[in-house]
Structure 1
Amino acid sequence: MRIIMALACLLGLMGALPAHAAESKDVFGRTVPVGQGRPAVVLYANPDTREVLRTHAFQFAYQLRREYPIMVVHVDLRDVPSFFRGAARRELRKSHRESIAAIQKLFRDQGQQPPDNLESSLYLVADSTGAPHHALGLEKGFLQVLAQAVSPSGLELARGRFPESAPSIGQAIQSSLAPSFVSKASSH
């Protein structure tokens, strides 16, 4: 019975880990540092959900500025013919630069100086196989962005459709930095 309970706990813990997020490289070849000391918001999108991100993600990132999360956008390229995936990656690099500029503008519009380290806070990952998306149940051609809140140690805290789940994702990120959460996590 103890072995069954231990296996159940282990499987539960494995289910709480973010799917493939910690082992990724972004479109610039940088390792995505999920689970390495900072909380993360991981968004799973595709080219068809770009407008949702443009409309909601910048403001959401700004609202979480005090928590200093890593923002990771996994872009599913399964719908992009393989011949055009190189162009799609170049477009993602361009989109990264435009996103940094848009976030800087948002800070300035609010009368604040943008942080110097925005580059180390935003990662765009081009997923040609869509494996992370598929692991989360997102089939090819999905129409809704999925968001995950990930703790500084790499555990999934919350998951839901974005932008509807933004409040609960934000609360999970905030609570992951609370002293009680940190002391509970380190005492186990």
Structure 2
Amino acid sequence: MIKTKTSPGNSAAPEVGGGAPKIWLQRRSVAILGVAVLSAIALGGGLLIAFKHSLLPTFLNDAGIENVTASASTDEANPLPAGANLLVMPFEEMIVNITATSETGRLTSRFMKVDLALVYDQAQDEQGLVESRHIYMRDAFQDYLRQLTDRDIEGTLGLVTLKSELLRRARAIAGSNAPHELVILGLVVQ
């Protein structure tokens, strides 16, 4: 059944009646079915990965993807050379202001107190630059710490990033890879 509807200034346009609800229901059911199928596939894949199913490595290797195991151990990432003579150089406690965001979204200032120690290899520091550049390292550390926000030091990832950034600065100032590790003895945020 086709009706024509005219209005002043417009041409006659045919209007289809009766078939529109049927098409709409078909499209809706296809969309719901598609979402259900995709959800089932995602759930199955998630469960397969979560429970480390025995078929997963076989499936991945058939697709040409290698299984690689990563280790976050600092000993493997930065191995000690033979004959290493490790020394610990403590820093005085540092207190700096960091930027924090309050619950209302306003920027505020908080105090952060950090107690650090640098572990370095005396065998790689032949000229004694690590000890002589101690105050420059402290200054570089304080400059970096003042730029931080409370979210930068949140969680384990924040602490790992903090240690790696400070160690990178210590190595740059020492001019060698003698600084082996940075130990955070204490970290308190107001």
Q: Give the TM-score normalised by the residue count of structure 1.
A: 0.22
Larger strand share, 1 or 2: 2
Q: Give the TM-score normalised by the residue count of structure 2.
A: 0.22
Larger helix share, 1 or 2: 1
- Higher relative contact order structure (alpha carbons within 8 Å, sequence separation ≥ 6): 1
Structure with the greater alpha carbon radius of gyration: 2
